[in-house]
Structure 1
Amino acid sequence: MSQLKNYTGSVFGGLGHLLKAYCEAKKIEIPEQLQQVQNLERFDYVIWRDLLEDLNAMHPKTGLGLEIAEYVQPKHLGIIAYLALSCENLGEALARYHDFHRLIYDGSPLIVEFNPPYVSIRWEAPEPHPTQLTDEIAIALMVQFLKLFMSGESIHLHEVHFVNTAPKNIAIYEQYFHCRVRFEQPKTQLLLPVSEAFKPLRTGDHTLQQLLLKQAQALLEQLPNSTQLDQRLQHSILTGLQKNQYQIDFIAEKLGLSVRQLQRHLQQQNTTFQERVQQIRFMLATEYLKDPHLSLQEIALLLCYSEQSAFQRAFKIWTGQTPQQWRKDNTTYNS
């Protein structure tokens, strides 16, 4: 198979599960290389590209990437699904996707630009250029990602652009995206009206919300003398960590207090705001470490550490162990 010289991009292992789900749904024989990546946390971008090309060679079809993307579920997207589930509107989810998209799809750098009246979401191509198939599945996954978390409303796209030569049947693409699709353009991009960014996201029975409620309850049970304010404080910090809005000024405003009032309340309990944040981070860290599908890098992001090393140092202070040692000693799965 061909190799991308001097390029070491990778994709999230969940995308391998997505391809397998597609093959099973379509009763297509699963290629040996696809079987081999099923237990990997990540695999090379070039393998992803070749797997797509192999599937297309076995069952050639215009718009194959679009068809595959329709089978995506939050579990195929990993950490970004957790983060998106905590967002209030489409624009915020889009910002999370921009910040952490490389955790899913580190094949082409993603750029999000707000140029009213449109938002441009585009992929800057590495050398050599990606194929039509890798481009179309990247855009289709982006659209499906946004649809997964919508509150029942549809997304109205303005246009979709591809750098590749137009296929014979452009209608397949326009029917899929419900907008005009242009080929042989300077950039591969998705143009979304800025007004779409304010559409609310679903706030129903989501994985992250259940996880947060579970953690909040566990924390509250450890606080026998907790007050209603303490309960609200725990929950505010928990949800704030998901949006990187857990600093004391954000939390105090959410509780309807001044920073000084909140500090005084915590001082009466012989603690500080930073100690309370670290307590919650530790509780969440031990829960996340029990999930074999979350890497240390992903856990560090969930806990709002800018670097994995910062999380590891904090965890060593909390427990005297590294996260890897704690995970090995406190979980029953085989890594």
Structure 2
Amino acid sequence: MSEIQIPNGYYQLWLRYLSAQGRVPEQLGFSPAQLQHLQHVLALPMDTQSSYQFFNEIIQHSIQFLDCPTLVFELARYIQPEHFGVLGYMASRSNSVAEALQYMMRFSRLVVDGTAAVPMRLEQQPDALYLSWPLVDEKYSLVHEMTFACMTQLAMQIFDFQHSPIREIHFAHAPRMAMLHYEKFYGCKVLFKQAEYQIVLNLESLSLKPQQADPSLIHLLTKQAEDAIALKPQLETVQQQVQEQVAHYLRYEQQVPSIEWVAQRLFRSGRTLQRQLKQEGTGFKQILEIERMQRCENLLRQNVSLSDIAQLLGYSDQSALARAYKACTGQTLLKRKQQLQQAEDALSLQQNTP
């Protein structure tokens, strides 16, 4: 599955907004083919998924026809848990904000799916909580804005926030409307063209409980979500998932992750993860060494000293790093550093030549 798929709840949300305005889709100037496709999608169960491309087409047409540049925000004001399917109900019945976020990461494919859909990451820093995911392609900017707006609006409904828990909103794409609309809707600092998409939350919001927490219902919903995920095609091998987690940890934490940490992020036990990797013909140690060497290459290009690289990658000293590099690549570390320096000098000379 290459194209992004979104919940049919998004289409139903659009229809609910139109109804509140006293309109029906037939009044918006859609072509007969578009109306026929719309009728088909709107007849599907809310917790199934359909084409993002068609949804984008419908929303862009609606924005122009209704002369409503803030349509995404207007739709989000009508959001209900059912528009996110089982995941929306799980969030509304979870025991805390922290638990709801864990469910979002674990079952995000039930909302937005496809090979271009990158799972969210949740990182707790001393000052705040960061919910992040990278930019894949600017053509998906609408689904990012829609999901951001609906997530934040639904959270305000579910949890009894005295003040908004959102400290900052970061978008990786350029703004789609005037900045004042974003700042008014989110009530916080909003930045664009950032390295990643991020929602920055206050730490104290993690322990807040929803007004309708229901642990027994959560158990049933979790089983339903697990069954739904199991029916979806595998987008990545276990090895690829581990590689992404290890690479991220090496880059942002600047130390070596344990298999237990990676397994927890992938919602498995360490033993299960080892078994699955073995079935794919590899192991955690092999993946870790490969990712360490790739990170080493990046740090060499940044002219980081060999002793600092060894420390960042968890080696006892520079000599241990050099031995590991030679064993993995068949080339000495000093030779590789010289090659990179020569290539950089050649590029600099080329750029400065009239």
What does residue 69 of structure 2 align with?
Answer: 62
Aligned with residue 42 of structure 2, among 38, 41, 55: 38
Superposition deviation, residue 174 in structure 1: 0.9
Q: Can you give the 5+ residue segments of structure 1 that lack an aligned partner in the other structure?
A: 1-5, 210-235, 245-297, 310-335
Partner Cα distance (2:218, 2:142) in 1: 38
1:297-333, Cα deviation, whole Å (9 max, x unpaired): x73627xx97359xxxxxxxxxxxxxxxxxxxxxxxx
Identify the match of residue 103 of structure 1 among 105, 110, 113: 110
The reply to whether residue 151 of structure 1 matches residue 76 of structure 2 is no
Letter in 2 for 1:187: E
Alignment correspondent of 2:241: none
Whole-angstrom CA distance in 2 between matches of 1:80 and 1:63:
26
- Equivalent of 1:301, from 216, 223, 226? 226
Aligned equivalents of 1:14, 1:243: Cα separation in 2: 18
Aligned to 1:198: 207
What RMSD over aligned residues (CA atoms) do the two structures have, in Å? 2.9
Q: Is the CA contact 1:152–1:202 (under 8 Å) kept in the aligned structure 2?
A: no
Moved over 4 A (4+): none
Deviation at 1:141, TM superposition (A): 1.2
Shift of 1:240: 6.9
Equivalent residue pairs, number:
217
Q: CA deviation at 1:181?
A: 0.8
SS at match of 2:93: coil
Match in the other structure for 1:21: 16
Determine which structure has the larger helix proportion and give its number.
2
Distance 1:122 1:49, change over 3 A: farther
Q: CA deviation at 1:143?
A: 0.6
The structure that has the greater radius of gyration is 2
TM-score normalised by structure 2 residue count: 0.54
Classify 1:187/1:59 alpha carbon distance in 2 versus 1 (closer, same or farther; 3 Å). Answer: farther
Percent identity of the aligned residues? 21
The 3 A distance-change label for structure 1 pair 142 and 168 is: closer
Q: Residue 176 of structure 1 aligns with which residue?
A: 185
Q: How does 1:1-335 map to 2 (within 5 A)?
A: 7-30=2-25, 31=30, 32=35, 33-40=37-44, 41-106=48-113, 108-116=117-125, 117-126=127-136, 128-151=137-160, 153-166=162-175, 169-203=178-212, 209=214, 238=216, 241-242=219-220, 299=224, 301=226, 307-308=230-231
| TM superposition shift of 1:104 | 1.7
Q: CA deviation at 1:157?
A: 0.9
**Structure 1 residues 68, 123: closer, same or farther in 2, change over 3 A?**
farther
Code of the residue aligned with 2:145 in structure 1: it is E
1:31-87 deviation line (CA, Å, top 9, x unaligned): 514333101232122222222222223224333211111111122121012322331
SS in 1 for 2:166: coil
SS at match of 1:202: coil
Q: Offset at 1:173? A: 0.9
The 8 Å contact of residues 160 and 210 in structure 2, kept in 1 or not, is answered as yes
CA distance in 1, matches of 2:99, 2:146: 22
Structure 2 runs not aligned, ≥5 long: 233-354
Residue type of the partner of 2:3? T
1:235-260 Cα shifts (integer Å, max 9, x gaps): x8x4572586xxxxxxxxxxxxxxxx
Residue 158 of structure 1: SS of its match in structure 2?
Answer: strand
In structure 2, the CA distance between the partners of 1:145 and 1:168, relative to structure 1 (3 Å rule), is closer
1:124-156 Cα shifts (integer Å, max 9, x gaps): 333x32354322111101112322311353432
